Amino acid sequence: MLELAILGALKEKPMHGYELKKRLTYMLGHLWKISFGSLYPALKRLEAKQAIERAYTVKEKARNRYVYRITPGGERLFQELLTRVESNSDITDSDRFSLRLVFFRYLDPEARIRLLEKRRNYLLEKLNEMVNWGKGRERESDSYRAGLFRHRQELMKSDIDWLNHLIERERSMLSGALAEGEPGDEGKGGENLLTEEDVMGNFRTLQA
């Protein structure tokens, strides 16, 4: 997942390691902490895969820094990592799914809708399980336990409502684009639809 994040950040512009860490912290600090100890090994792995390359060096504070840029092979790997769903955890794990949301602008509309629906359906199933499990707890005497149970349900309902909003917006804008006869923008992820700022402006941590 860190490789996906690095490639997504380098799609914006070439950066050296320190710049890249700052950018990733800005984009993903709400999900996990980015450390140099994990960043530089990931850069080496991507360089070995020829997904990134050292474009040039810049001198800062008496030291040379390598500036990395994404390669055509890296562009293909980025799209593969962004759309790949190999296990349930790619949908059920909040952080893994949230990372994809950060780079949703680079997906075509149909892929965005498909992933959003998968996540929503998972949360609906989990909420239904929680409701059924809670039917025998109406007489819970401990107010903290009862309150926590209700709180978890409200968080899940809030996430489902938000996903429904995103799905409906995607469908509406896709329908509008199709009605106008505009060609798809699969390579660039359809900037005329949801942008990173749109998604992050409405962002709330997915709880389940």
pLDDT in tens, 87-98: 788 898 888 898
Q: Burial level of 190, CB count in 10 A (0-12/13-18/19+)? A: buried
d(CA 159, CA 21) in angstroms, rounded, equals 29
pLDDT in tens, 27-44: 888 778 888 999 999 999
Mean local confidence (pLDDT), 134-140:
67
What are phi and psi for residue 86, nearest 5 degrees?
-95, -25
79 is written with which tokens?
């799209």
Q: Are 57 and 67 in contact (CB under 8 A)?
A: yes
C-alpha to C-alpha distances, 187 to 25, 106, 182, 206, nearest whole angstrom: 26, 7, 14, 28
- Alpha-carbon Rg for the chain, nearest whole angstrom, is 20
pLDDT grade, residue 202 (50/70/90)? very low
* Closest among 114, 66, 65, 82 to 8, alpha carbons compared: 82
Report pTM: 0.75
pLDDT of residue 140: 67
